[in-house]
Structure 1
């Protein structure tokens, strides 16, 4: 199962997210849940890096299905707003996948 942990500050701001595990919906290379979650998360990170001046922290392990992103607290307000909007879009997309495939992906929120 893919575990997605999203950390929100009391203000609601997303400060980090972690995605870990494998969906095991289908064999490697044919796993739609894994492909969808990967496309959404990496698409979001690519959008942040391409469309904003934010320098976010990214850790990844290809073999383990692990991805972590940290959003610095000291981003200028306008840039942080763009980053947050993109991250909220990611959350909505992942929740859409979770609604259909809850046996294979789980999203948890932490503060």
Structure 2
């Protein structure tokens, strides 16, 4: 199962972590994993490109782990863009969770 944990402070996303594997299909044909990967990496790339913001990114060497942390020192305009893009990511992940809840679980802390 993929576990998504979103860490917030004052309702702003400070970091998020994805861990585990969906195992919803054979390796290379796992649609839940592919969807979660596309949504999360797409959001990270969008923030890096469009918000020009500093992100601390940790990845597992064999996949199955991603942690992204937003620096507290970002300008408010850049932070607003990053928040909007990451909130969009969460909405997309929740859509996947709604249809495939046996393979993905999202929680906020």
Query: Which TM bucket (shorter chain)?
Result: over 0.9
TM-score (norm 1): 0.96
Q: Secondary structure at the match of 2:101?
A: coil
Q: How does 1:77-88 map to 2 (within 5 A)?
A: 77-88=76-87
Partner residue in 2 for 1:23:
22
Q: Does 1:44 align with 2:43?
A: yes
More displaced stretch, 56-65 vs 27-36: 56-65
Partner residue in 2 for 1:33:
32
CA offset digits 1:50-81 (Å, max 9, x no partner): 11220111000141410000011111000000
In the alignment, structure 1 segments of 5+ residues that lack a partner are none
TM-score (norm 2): 0.98
Between Structure 1 and Structure 2, how many residues are aligned?
109
Partner residue in 2 for 1:6:
6
CA RMSD of aligned residues (A): 0.7
Supply the distance in 2 between the matched residues of 1:103 and 1:74 (Cα, whole angstroms).
Answer: 38
In the alignment, structure 2 segments of 5+ residues that lack a partner are none
Supply the distance in 2 between the matched residues of 1:46 and 1:62 (Cα, whole angstroms).
Answer: 19
Supply the distance in 1 between the matched residues of 2:51 and 2:81 (Cα, whole angstroms).
Answer: 7
Q: Does 1:70 align with 2:69?
A: yes
